[in-house]
Structure 1
């Protein structure tokens, strides 16, 4: 599916996933799962479930406007479409079938790639964009919730926004409504929230030494002679 202009494509409810990836590749570089250089303060994620198409388009539009100088944002890395099966009508569930984006079990290559990028970059903020009936904002740390005057949530660690709370970052969760007419005014509001969150002091995790297992290394552990040193809480959930 081709469009004459990215604005038209990204405010459509029928945008092609390949078009989104191609646009981000031109604007941000990187890929195929993560678009970024690895030194960004912000990691933006979207595209986990079929109903997330508004979030994917919105995030891509926001990044497109940022690269054109129309929005003020800190450096952002993004993984807007991490599993194309979510957009082709494949059945999915949380029991018996692989979860689309499981940071803890790392079953999918896309998940492993984004997780490795996350541990390398250690972004200050993870911004998760999901589809929703109306626009909502929540944060996963007390400091971010108080600073931004938004609701605080404690999501499951088996979700993208929950995984961020186990590691190093403040996580912001944005629900994007399926109304492309609202995208343009919302991009500036969301950009302001992300910019404010990026100025917050980073999360600090105490270090813990655990028995050596490959999965701990995949989750960012540092190998030592008698085990693995972790500076996040993911070991509690594996």
Structure 2
């Protein structure tokens, strides 16, 4: 795989973790978990379960083509493989996809810390699926992008982001790499349009002093935590 061109190597049903990280480190910078500078309007996540290999490869291929000037995209920071153990076939006691509220894993804590520094306008989640699908988490995104709105679990990355400052877009990527080529420009167009969505603002509240609220962007004070998002409602 290392000796193939990236676009050929990524047209696969399996994921080489080292190769994906090498490519994104070279073209986006950062790593080994999060690639990007931290000022991008989009944060893209993939690689939660073994069946997400096509989504990992699709996202990586899309970013490679963007950096090579073959695809028009807005700036994106990416976590192509959130759960490395799943892609390597090793068990993991925590379901990381549903850990973006309680933040029990080091991966979700690191991603959440990056999220609060970057405050991306859009969180794009790429999952494996039987066929292509794109859905969103806010009414304005559904109207602007002409996509179906979902109400995600607050424990998921798109659900936690919807409680904060971001519009969520969830893509289901089909398993056949032969379908990647026609989908690349379609997904890129959705992401470009998504960056024009208005910012989300939440009211500032003071809540009980808990470390989890600080991890979710809160500021500790003597008598509590000041937080400007709605995660406290679900914790």
Fold shared per TM-score above 0.5: yes
Counterpart in the other structure of 1:63: 63
* Aligned mates of 1:70, 1:8 — CA distance in 2: 15
Q: State the shift of 1:155 in Å.
A: 1.0
**What is the number of equivalent residue pairs in this alignment?**
234
Structure 1: stretches of 5+ with no match in the other structure: none
Give a deviation string over 1:43-99, Cα, whole Å, max 9, x none: 00001111111110000000001101111111110001022111133446xxxx412
Matched, 1:85 2:85: yes
Counterpart in the other structure of 2:96: 100
Matched, 1:218 2:215: yes
* Aligned mates of 2:222, 2:75 — CA distance in 1: 36
SS at match of 2:184: helix
* Aligned mates of 1:3, 1:177 — CA distance in 2: 25
Matched, 1:146 2:140: no
Change (3 A) 1:3 1:182: farther
Counterpart in the other structure of 2:76: 76
SS at match of 1:120: helix
* Aligned mates of 1:48, 1:19 — CA distance in 2: 17
CA RMSD of aligned residues (A): 1.2
- Assess if the C-alpha contact under 8 Å between 1:86 and 1:100 holds in 2: no
* Aligned mates of 1:3, 1:181 — CA distance in 2: 21
* Aligned mates of 1:230, 1:208 — CA distance in 2: 6
Counterpart in the other structure of 2:7: 7
- Assess if the C-alpha contact under 8 Å between 2:15 and 2:54 holds in 1: no
Q: State the shift of 1:127 in Å.
A: 0.5
Q: State the shift of 1:221 in Å.
A: 0.5
* Aligned mates of 2:102, 2:67 — CA distance in 1: 34
1:170-181 to 2 correspondences below 5 Å: 170-181=167-178
1:124-135 to 2 correspondences below 5 Å: 124-135=121-132
Matched, 1:198 2:195: yes
**TM-score, normalization: structure 2?**
0.96
SS at match of 1:206: coil
- Assess if the C-alpha contact under 8 Å between 1:167 and 1:232 holds in 2: yes
* Aligned mates of 2:119, 2:80 — CA distance in 1: 18
* Aligned mates of 2:152, 2:31 — CA distance in 1: 27
